[in-house]
Structure 1
Amino acid sequence: MRILRLLFVIAVIATVSSCGISATGGWHGEVPGEHQRKDTTMPAQYGALYPADIKMLVAVAQAGLWEAPASADVALRSSNPAVRKVAEQLDREHHVLHEDNMAAADRLQIQLPQAPTPQQQAWQDEIRAATGDKLDRLYVNLARAAHGSVYMAIATVRSTTQNDVIRSMAAIAETYVSRHMALLESTGLATSDALAVHSGTDAQYQSIPAPADLGRGIAVALAIGLATLLLVRLGSRVRPAEVAEEDEAAARWD
């Protein structure tokens, strides 16, 4: 039972130590986006190419694959002059952006998707099925939220990439997407929900311990545990002697 209690104490100490280091360590001591530079996907002629770099090209491609046809549809069917004008510009510029993105992918020998994601296709279908004021509001809010999501990915890559082609493409895409958000907002139909980023990229960073910090915490906990075990062993050896002395003193008094 004594050993079990000791093991329980060691486990508690290890947990507390790890949590304490986690609270002080924060985001592994890194800034957002730093983890995207940990593993090089491949060496490239224009600089190291990372997973986040490729994901940005894919995200830009898929955004254009649904936003361009959706904008073309709204430009034809909307009865709102402001929405129609914005949709026409977005349709036109998404085709130009797509060509630039394809050129960057070709230089890096990256194959891009030829279809939007199922969620993006569902958005396009929802817009296609709407009419009147619902069509305008649905288009503006879905497109604005989608642009906000991809904008964050582009900005992160723009500030962290080491590849010249990716950096140039990120700067181009950032300009387009930022302008598109402003245009959609200029219609006056973008709600507060549309201004939020509906993507996993907006999840808050969690304060988890880095591997090195966790290792140090476990080492400290084990050291404390071993010291405790040593004290218990010493105490168990001294205790019988103390009991014997007390018994002898009691016998003399008797």
Structure 2
Amino acid sequence: MVLTFLLAPVSPARADGTVPGIPVPQNSFNAKGAGSVSAADRDFVIKVRLAGLWEIPAGNMAQEKSDDPRVVTIGKSIAAQHVLLDKLDRDVAKKLSIDLPSEPNSDQQFWLSEMRNANATTFDQIFVDRLRAAHGKIFPAIATIRASTRNDSVRQLAQQTNQFVLTHITLLESTGIVSYGDLPTAPPPANPNAGPVPVDGQMVAAAHSSTSAIPGVNTTVILLVLAAALVAGVITTMRIFRAR
């Protein structure tokens, strides 16, 4: 039964619309808006709204200006998926009384102006690079909110957004024209000499307690007992061979 459960395919719910395959995770949270809402949570809900405000028109422009059928299809998919994600985001914002913007920010407006001013030759590269960079920037922020939020509605929105963004990154990269060299690199680790697993006070205390789990017995006594057992074993072996 366990193997059957683990191997069973998970089919995401699909939105009603002209573009098939819009990924929406099934609602396993039963989110009711329960839990405290942090400043980071509010900022995340606002950023999801801002993403839709410029990526929907960007996707529509791709359908109008690109001569590449792949880019046209990708633009159509991204625009349609952001329409759905925007609705999910507005529902959460309403439930949590979060005020949302009604127009893109200055950077997003600039990217849209770049696309409007581009011709058929330059549009595809601008469209793919701007959207790929934006999705890569918000991707780690989604993981942080998903892992840390105390609010169930924000947690559900973060999981849904994660699936959308990963889909969009994959679609954009499928064009084969992403300028990876222009993407921002990951920040260096805070302590480059630290090991792969962080060690904190609790881990040190746990390790210490594990070595002294037997009351009244320290490490020196254990080593002496092991040494005595080793010597006894060697003597016994030598006697066996001599008897032969």
Q: Alpha carbons of 1:165 and 1:136: their partners in 2 closer, same or farther (altered >3 Å)?
A: same
* Structure 1: stretches of 5+ with no match in the other structure: 1-43, 208-254
1:110 aligns with 2:61: no
Equivalent residues in 2 for 1:96-135 (5 A)?
96-135=84-123
Deviations 1:106-159 (A, max 9, x none): 110111111111011000110111012310011001000001111121111001
Whichever structure has more helix as a proportion of its residues is 1
Counterpart Cα distance in 2 of 1:80 and 1:50: 43
1:63 corresponds to: 51
TM superposition shift of 1:165: 0.5
> Residue 168 of structure 2 is aligned with which of 170, 174, 180?
180
What is the aligned partner in structure 1 of residue 63 from structure 2? 75
C-alpha distance in structure 2 between counterparts of 1:186 and 1:206, whole Å: 33
Q: Distance in 2 between matches of 1:138 and 1:156?
A: 28
Matches of 2:167 and 2:95 in 1, distance apart?
Answer: 26
Task: Give the corresponding residue for 1:92.
Answer: 80
In structure 1, the residue corresponding to 2:101 is in which secondary structure? coil
Map of 1:46 onto structure 2: 34
| Native 8 Å contact 2:33 2:153 kept in 1 | no
- Give the corresponding residue for 1:150: 138
Distance (whole Å) between structure 2 residues aligned to residue 45 and residue 101 of structure 1? 13
TM-score by length of structure 2 reads 0.62
Q: Counterpart amino acid of 2:80?
A: R
The aligned counterpart of 2:10 is none
Q: Is the contact made by 2:53 and 2:102 (CA closer than 8 Å) also made in structure 1?
A: yes
Structure 2 CA distance, aligned partners of 1:82 and 1:112?
A: 33
Which residue number in structure 1 is paired with residue 159 of structure 2?
171
User: Which aligned segments of 4 or more residues in structure 1 are displaced greater than 4 angstroms?
Assistant: 202-207
Matches within 5 A, 1:16-35: none
TM-score normalised per structure 1: 0.60
Native 8 Å contact 2:146 2:155 kept in 1: yes
Q: Which protein, 1 or 2, shows the higher relative CO under an 8 Å CA cutoff with sep ≥ 6?
A: 1
Q: How many residue pairs are counted as aligned between the two chains?
A: 160
* Contact map agreement 2:33 2:95 (CA 8 A) in 1: no
Aligned to 1:190: 178
What per-residue deviation string (whole Å, max 9, x for no partner) do you get for residues 167-205 of structure 1?
0000000000110000000011111145436xxxx5557
SS class of match (1:133): coil
TM superposition shift of 1:48: 1.2
Aligned-partner Cα distance in 1 for 2:177–2:72: 13
- Classify 1:111/1:93 alpha carbon distance in 2 versus 1 (closer, same or farther; 3 Å): same
Larger Rg over CA atoms: 1
